[in-house]
Structure formats: C-alpha cells, structure tokens
Amino acid sequence: MVKTRLKDLREDHDLLQKNLAEMLNIAQTTYSQYELSKREIPYEIIIKLASFYNTSVDYILYLTDDKKAYKRKERS
C-alpha cells in the first residue's frame, strides 16, 4: 500500500476522520483504513482530497514536498 499524508493534512485542518468521511460519503472506518494504508484509495477520492486541501495529489502521495496545488489548465 502507498503511504499518504492524509492524517497530517486532516490534523493540520483540525478535522476528525468522521468529518472527512461524511464529506466523501464513505464510512469512517473506510477513511481510517485509507489513513493507515490498509486500503487502496480510489483516485477519485485522492483528487477530491487534493482539491479540498488545495494541494496536489503528488503532495498527498509523497511524490513532492511542495504543498502548493498545481495551476489548473483552462479547458477549451
């Protein structure tokens, strides 16, 4: 399983697992398993969390230490 920064991000925003689970429309136990790297996180969930925290998927997945979100491309 892939290690993530989900717990750190959640705690930095003073949120409970329950809060994120409700926002994502999943069970709190499922969210807990994501944080503990006991369950694969669907890419849709990672994208939602990156948007919510205004960061990048790469940051969540430890692929970069840069917390800033990437500039989004405008769609034509």
* CATH homologous superfamily for the domain 6-60: lambda repressor-like DNA-binding domains (1.10.260.40)
pTM above 0.75, yes or no: yes
The size of the chain, in residues, is 76
pLDDT tens digit sequence for 11-63: 999 999 999 999 999 999 999 999 999 999 999 999 999 999 999 999 999 99
The whole-number pLDDT of residue 48 equals: 96
pLDDT at 76: 61
Which H or E run includes 58?
A: helix 57-60
User: Would you say 69 and 14 are in contact if contact means Cβ atoms under 8 Å apart?
Assistant: no
Closest CA to 5 of 72, 57, 40: 57
Going from N- to C-terminal start, the domains of the chain cover 6-60
* CA 40 and chain centroid, separation: 12
Q: Which residue has the tokens 């917390």?
A: 67
